[in-house]
Amino acid sequence: MSSMDILLWNCRDAGNDRFKRNLRDIVRLHRPNMIILLETKVELSTMGMYFNQLGFMASTHVDPVGRSGGIWMLWDPSQANVCITEANSQMITTTISRKDYPTWVLSAVYASPNSRMRDEL
């Protein structure tokens, strides 16, 4: 089994046609097992079946507050078992396990520009 390839992208707005086209090209070229998108600015539900068509059948997310923030974590469940251990408006923490590999922890963080909220994180 090969290493786990993860794409992390501060996309600064997801869901429009340009984003979809660019992500499709990146996935086709690099074939990541997991995608983490930050500052999505839209709710994951607006993407419909788009990610399933790319092969990412499992996901967890933190929706943006208004048009600020948002974290999406998407993966192929045949490649890894991802267990969400904590999530809030600024981060998602998971435990990832794969056959023949040690279990490890991954946190995707998008800290608020508000210093008080950032301090809470």
CATH number of 6-120: 3.60.10.10
Would you kindly state where each structural domain of the chain is located, as residue ranges?
6-120
Bridge partners for 68 per DSSP: 65
* pLDDT, tens digit only, all 121 positions of the chain: 468 899 999 998 898 999 999 999 999 999 999 999 999 988 888 887 899 999 999 999 998 887 788 999 999 999 999 999 999 989 999 999 998 899 999 999 998 888 888 888 8
H/E stretch holding 21: helix 17-30
Its pTM stands at 0.91
Edge-first strand order for the sheet with 71-75 is: 6-10, 34-38, 71-75, 58-62
DSSP 51-64: HHHTT--EEEEE--
